[in-house]
């Protein structure tokens, strides 16, 4: 059985509001993300802010399990992972703030895990030039320019072998995504094609952009 954890526990500091529960084209952002996860998942766990009561969720949120998150993203994923039974075959992690993730992305990461990978992430080419900077005499200076061809921008959904993901989270480390934790604990991660339209809602302009795409 395939389970998905939709992470919706953020405070929305950069946005100025809990963006995951705002309205996007007639549905809440979280509802769009849950529906996207259900294209492959049999069950969905929604992780919400620790100071929020489930009764305060938008009425269109229909997760199978709702759990309170932790102080960090990794802690919130661990809270969701605790709700997933040991007989799960694949665990998908998806950010609620990516409401327009297409079904093809979920199928790609799941298929990669079913083919033998410890984990799989969606990756999109980096189009901007990326420079490493440091401070010299109080001024920000360029240290080096990275090779764009060796870089990808990682997205969710991400999928994992459940035992591998549990092992990675057992170390109680923190990272900006779950693939990084699996990498830290010796797992192998494969990359599947991402989607430039799989925008993460971070600031109000992002929600406006997605309103025009969908």
pLDDT at 212 over 80: no
Confidence band of 213 (pLDDT split at 50, 70, 90):
low
Residue 142 lies in a domain: no
The parent domain of residue 175 ranges over: 2-121+156-213
What's the pLDDT score for residue 7?
A: 98
Q: Report the number of distinct structural domains present in the chain.
A: 1
The answer to whether the CB of 77 falls within 8 A of the CB of 162 is no
The answer to whether the CB of 98 falls within 8 A of the CB of 154 is no
Query: What would the pLDDT profile of 190-201 be if each residue is shown by its tens digit?
Result: 999 999 999 999
Residue 145 lies in a domain: no
Alpha-carbon gap, residue 121 to 129, rounded angstroms:
22
Query: What would the pLDDT profile of 119-153 be if each residue is shown by its tens digit?
Result: 999 999 999 999 999 998 889 999 999 999 999 99
Alpha-carbon gap, residue 80 to 165, rounded angstroms:
12
Residue 144 lies in a domain: no
Confidence band of 159 (pLDDT split at 50, 70, 90):
very high
pLDDT at 214 over 70: no
Q: What is the mean pLDDT of the chain?
A: 95
- Residue 165's nearest CA partner among 103, 80, 97 is 80
Query: What would the pLDDT profile of 32-57 be if each residue is shown by its tens digit?
Result: 999 999 999 999 999 999 999 999 99
Residue 130 lies in a domain: no
- Residue 38: give its domain's CATH number: 3.90.550.10
Residue 147 lies in a domain: no
């Amino acid at each position: 059985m395939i389970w998905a954890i939709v992470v919706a526990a953020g405070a929305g500091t950069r946005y100025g509001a809990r963006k995951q529960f705002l309205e996007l084209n007639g549905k809440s952002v979280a509802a769009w993300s849950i529906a996207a996860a259900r294209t492959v998942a049999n069950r969905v766990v929604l992780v919400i802010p620790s100071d929020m009561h489930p009764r305060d969720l938008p009425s269109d949120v229909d997760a199978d399990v709702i759990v309170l998150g932790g102080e960090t993203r990794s802690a919130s994923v661990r809270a969701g992972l605790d709700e997933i039974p040991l007989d799960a075959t694949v665990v998908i992690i998806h950010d609620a703030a990516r409401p327009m993730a297409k079904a093809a992305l979920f199928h790609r990461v799941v298929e990669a895990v079913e083919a033998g990978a410890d984990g799989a992430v969606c990756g999109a080419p980096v189009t901007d030039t990326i420079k490493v900077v440091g401070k010299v005499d109080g001024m920000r200076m360029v240290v080096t320019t990275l090779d764009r061809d060796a870089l990808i921008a990682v997205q969710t959904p991400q999928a994992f072998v459940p035992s591998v993901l549990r092992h990675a989270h057992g170390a109680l480390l923190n990272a900006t995504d779950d693939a990084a934790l699996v990498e830290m604990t010796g797992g192998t991660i494969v990359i599947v094609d991402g989607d430039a339209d799989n925008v993460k809602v971070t600031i109000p302009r992002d929600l406006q952009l997605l309103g025009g795409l969908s």
